[in-house]
Amino acid sequence: MITLTNVTKYYGTRMAVNGVSLEVKNGEIFGLVGPDGAGKTTIIRMLAGLLAPTSGTLTVLGAANPEKIKEHLGYVPQKFSLYGDLTVMENIRVFGALYGQSAEKIDVVASHILGFTNLMPFKDRLADNLSGGMKQKLALAAGLMHQPQLFFLDEPTTGVDPVSRREFWQMLFKLNKEGTSIFVSTPYMDEAEFCTRVAFLHNGQIVSCDSPEGLRQAYPYKVLELGTKDRDIKEHLKKCSILDINMFGDKYHLVVEDVTLATTQIQSVLGEMNIENITLEEIQPTLEDVFVALAREVF
């Protein structure tokens, strides 16, 4: 469905994408995950036919130039422009018309898509008056008006609240189940869990690419989760056999090689300091743990 072979992209002298090769299969929800500036937008724009690689080759739905098959591609850019002074339905109709569909077809597809995205009750609301999450849903709806086979979404949930993010992903699952392949970029590690496969991008390079389960299995360490109200924990645990300490919500994830040794050391240190009411248990590494470790190796 998508292949990239040794694709590099420069903007002037700045290298944004550095020798990326990957393959995405029909039916996937493929996630491109990485921090700001990693090169996610550049890759998506090349795949959507809006930018040409500086070197390397790519194919999308078998075409070497995605521009030629754009009627089969959907693309929701990071900053999607809706018409703020038009209603939800009017926006949808405009995007349908842009793709050259007849008025009758637009009405049929619009009803389906507004139902699908739960936007029907808001069809007469001005786009400017929608919440951030609803604006993103409208962007998705607009991008679906020509019923693409392959859908590119560039950070569709950035700046959207956690509940709306979940709803948005439910929609992507539904869309995928109906047969649309999805290529989505996100800076949120928790969203990587929702993808069939994930490529972690760092400084324009793919550092790792696998299923969430595969990425977790390749993780070479163990993770202990420590719950404590103490906020100087890094300082206290300096002498323990811990490779890295990262905060996750109100807990700490301690990266260790030997769970038994580290547990004994941590309990002893915290006991000596009279730090009480702690919880300490080994947990499955999250993808965030995996990516933090990968990023550390790269830095």
Ligand X SMILES: Nc1ncnc2c1ncn2[C@@H]1O[C@H](COP(=O)(O)OP(=O)(O)OP(=O)(O)O)[C@@H](O)[C@H]1O
The residues that touch ligand X, with contacts defined as CB under 6 A, are: 11, 14, 16, 34, 36-42, 155
Give whichever of 36 and 124 is closer to ligand X, judged by the CB atom.
Answer: 36
Which CB, 111 or 205, lies closer to ligand X? 205
Distance of closest approach, residue 168 Cβ to ligand X, in angstroms: 17
DSSP class of 126: B
Q: Which residue number, 113 or 153, has a Cβ lying nearer to ligand X?
A: 153
- Least Å from the CB of residue 173 to ligand X: 23
Nearer Cβ to ligand X (18/118): 18
Q: Residue 120 Cβ, how far from ligand X at the closest point, in Å?
A: 31
Chain centre to alpha carbon of residue 57: 24
- Cα 82 to its chain centre, rounded Å, is 22
CB of 34 to ligand X, least distance (A): 6
In what order do the strands lie in the sheet containing 14-24? 14-24, 2-11, 55-60
Report helix, strand or coil for 36: coil
CB of 12 to ligand X, least distance (A): 6
Q: E strands within the chain?
A: 2-11, 14-24, 29-33, 55-60, 73-76, 150-154, 181-186, 197-202, 205-210, 222-227, 244-248, 251-256, 279-283
Closest CB to ligand X among 127 and 287?
287
Residues 6+ apart with CB under 8 A from 37: none
60 close to 139: Cβ distance less than 8 angstroms: no
- Residues, the chain, total? 299
Residues 158-194 as b/e (b if ≥16 CB within 10 A, e otherwise) read bebeeebbbbbbebbeebbeeebbbbbbbebbebbbb
Taking the complex as a whole, the smallest distance from the CB of residue 11 to ligand X amounts, in Å, to 3
Shortest distance, position 107 Cβ to ligand X, whole Å: 36
Q: How far apart are CA 200 and CA 202, in angstroms?
A: 7
34 or 285: CB nearest ligand X: 34
As measured in angstroms, the least distance from the Cβ of 187 to ligand X is 6
**Cα 71 versus chain centre, distance:** 24
Going from the C-alpha of 208 to that of each of 31, 131, 295, the distances in angstroms are 12, 35, 10
18 versus 263: smaller Cβ distance to ligand X? 18
Closer to ligand X by CB, 14 or 177: give it: 14
